Amino acid sequence: MSHFLIERNRLGYTQESIAERLEVNRKTVGRWDNGAPIPSDKLAICLDLGFDITFVLTGRRSSLEIANSAELTAESAIQAAVYATEEAILSVYQVKRVQKQLGVNGEFDAVKNLTLIKKAAEVLARAELTGDFSQDTLKKVFEMAGEA
């Protein structure tokens, strides 16, 4: 079962209702339910509909709750940095895959995209550490990746 399908069900959307909202046909939603890549413009709409895009893309819920701890420890800062880096790489990869900007064999050149990954990791780490992580944070990262 795909993370998209789990999230769609959590929010109570049928294939037909989400297809209508995303202006695609039901078969397209069915392919996404089975794990096919979702275009970034459709992910942005899903974000506006309440989808946890981090979960859809990675299977992990969007917040680590680090900012709610009484004291920021080195370990929690490292955890946030690792999380932000992982999310940045996955987000940039997803956008590049949808835009068909991967290598001939589907490879992703992280070095070529390093500046973008670093910017995305900075946005994500800052949001995690300050407690300002939201769906808008992910939307900003997707927009950055789509513009690059």
Q: Quick one: three-class SS letters along the chain?
A: CCHHHHHHHHHCCCHHHHHHHHCCCHHHHHHHHCCCCCCHHHHHHHHHCCCCHHHHHHCCCCCCCHHHCCCCCHHHHHHHHHHHHHHHHHHHHHHHHHCCCCCCCCCCCCCCCHHHHHHHHHHHHHHHHHCCCCHHHHHHHHHHHHHC
pLDDT tens readout for residues 40-87: 889 889 988 988 888 888 887 765 444 444 556 666 677 777 777 877
The mean pLDDT of 123-132, rounded to a whole number, is: 77
pLDDT bucket at 123, cuts 50 / 70 / 90: confident
The mean pLDDT of 24-41, rounded to a whole number, is: 92
Average pLDDT score, the chain: 81
